[in-house]
Amino acid sequence: MKRIVILIHLLILGISAEAASKDSLYKVSFEEVGRLQQSEKRLVLVFIKTSWCGYCKAMEQSVFKQPEVIKRLNKNFYTVFFDAESRQKISFAGHTFSYKPTGENTGTHELAAALGAVNGQVSYPALCILNADNEIIFQHQGFLSKTELIKILMALNREQRSSIFTQ
């Protein structure tokens, strides 16, 4: 009887964990992207943000919590949330990127600048989508609504699939 109760609890926990994983966005680090691309090629969505950016927080708390956005990202993309003011050295795509101070308590990470800059400037939030070869195929600066983001994800995913079939 004790085994049956334990088995039922484990089954319930397993179902709950699976449901929770479908309801939350699966985020990876830049280092993990390289490993994951070896087993399954996907587009990479990089959400570049800062701790002080109100629009960044709004996107994190609303857009990236929407079930349809989560479903599309978890199924077709590797998703990286990146703090543009991170002071951690990051190795990605064969390069090492570092934080570069611009003042006493300010600065920008080189990787944020490399992926998020449009016309030499980075503003937040910034969205960058890379193909499986780590080439930038889309950039956007500023807030995106759920509807706008889904349109972009669908178009890029469709484009990616069609390019696979024409190779």
Question: What are the extents of the domains in the chain?
Answer: 26-165
pLDDT at 8: 40
Closest CA to 80 of 92, 68, 66, 67: 92
CB atoms within 10 A of CB 36: 14
| pTM for this model (two decimals) | 0.82
Q: Specify whether domain 26-165 bears CATH 3.40.30.10.
A: yes
- Alpha carbon 108 to its chain's center: 19
CB atoms within 10 A of CB 115: 26
pLDDT at 102: 87
- Exposed e or buried b per residue across 52-86, where buried means at least 16 C-beta atoms within 10 angstroms of its C-beta: ebebbeebbeebbebeebbebbbebbbbbbbebbb
pLDDT at 66: 97
Residue ranges of the chain with per-residue pLDDT less than 50: 2-21, 164-167
